[in-house]
Copies of this chain bind each other. A is one copy, B any other.
Amino acid sequence: MTTLSNRYQAEAAKQRPTMRDVAALAGVGIKTVSRVVNEEPGVSEAKTVRVLRAVEQLNYQLDMAAGSLRRTGRRTLSIGLLLPSVANPFSGEIHRAIEDALAARGLAMFAASLDDDPEREKALVAAFLRRRVDGLILTPIAKSQAHVIPEHSQDLPVVFIDREPNGIDADAVVSDNATGGARAAAHLLSHGHTRLAYLGDRTDIQTARERRRGFLEELARSGIAVSDVPAIENLHDEEAAHRATHELLASRNPPTAIFSSQNLVTFGAMRALKEAGASHKVALVGFDDFALADMMEPGITVIAQHPERIGKLAAERILARIDGDQSQPSTWVVPSELIVRGSGELPPSD
């Protein structure tokens, strides 16, 4: 029975060849095949050639999973990446920068989207853990990352990106969100604005809170009564931001300058300003750069982040940890940068 079904399989699907097959064809032991395939030294020229020829002939492909099961350290040469969404251009650039750094080491990347959902964060981390990734790079959203990282994985390298983690002591690579917010405030103030407004993302997102804090603190330092500054939050999509901007413009005492703390919010604000014919009247500074910002009318002044630097740094950190770096975890901050394009330099309209 067993014999029959095995034979059937062998004939029907001609099983994928294993090292044993290669060894048989080359007339050597399987360990010799292993040595050749893994480019280990200590195999004679003659046998190396024979093995390689057999590999070629059978089209043999090493099974890394089987190998890493036995290998000391159990390296799978794969790492897990958890992003807000792979469809998000900012995430995409980080992803690419990480890939470039890790591919050079032969590491493959699992990628997944969290949608800023704490439940997904937990489920996807678990899924990657079950696949025994050598490291984890993630954008946290759950309130705490402590119960997400099982204690037994404490030796698993983890690097957080874009947002700092809570309840776990690990490396993080982030933008200088508060400083960037302050930079936006200072820029608008320097152009004479005194009636400003803040439009921001969900308050459970750490970066949104930081940007708001930096913005408002800078205003306070300059003597603006912060209680009078409209701060409309929890705008998670373009439509919400669009509505909020229209309401702001229609209010009794409309702002002469707006700081939008995230791309989709900036888009919503731009659209509302355009519809209201106020693109050239109300100043706008957005957090995070985007394609075609310079092609708008006026060009959109932004606090640009550097996703490629965030990704590169995160990759360097995870590689260092994988290589055994035991130093104290810490947070790396990638500076943001003001890019002047017109919308942020409009003077107060009255």
Contact = CB atoms under 8 A, between A and B. Distances in A.
A86 B89 contact: no
Contacts of A230: none
A5 B93 CA distance: 43
Nearest to A63: B132
Interface centre among A86, A96, A112, A113 (most CB of B within 10 A): A86
Nearest to A133: B108
Interface string A99-111: 1000100101111
Interface stretch (A26-34, A123-131, A136-144): A123-131
Interface string A125-166: 011111110000000000000000011110100000000000
Interface stretch (A9-17, A174-182, A215-223, A317-325): A9-17
| Most chain B beta-carbon contacts within 10 A, residue among A61, A85, A113 | A61
Interface residues of A, number: 57
A129 B291 contact: no
B131 A78 contact: yes
Nearest to A271: B295
Nearest to A111: B111
A270 interface: yes
Interface of A: 13-14, 16-17, 58-59, 61-66, 68-69, 76, 78, 85-89, 91-93, 95-96, 99, 103, 106, 108-113, 126-132, 150-153, 155, 267, 270-271, 274, 290-292, 295-297
Given A65-B132, A110-B110, A267-B295, 18 more contacts: A14-B152, A16-B153, A58-B152, A59-B150, A59-B151, A64-B130, A64-B132, A78-B110, A86-B99, A87-B92, A87-B95, A87-B96, A89-B92, A108-B127, A108-B128, A108-B131, A109-B112, A270-B295
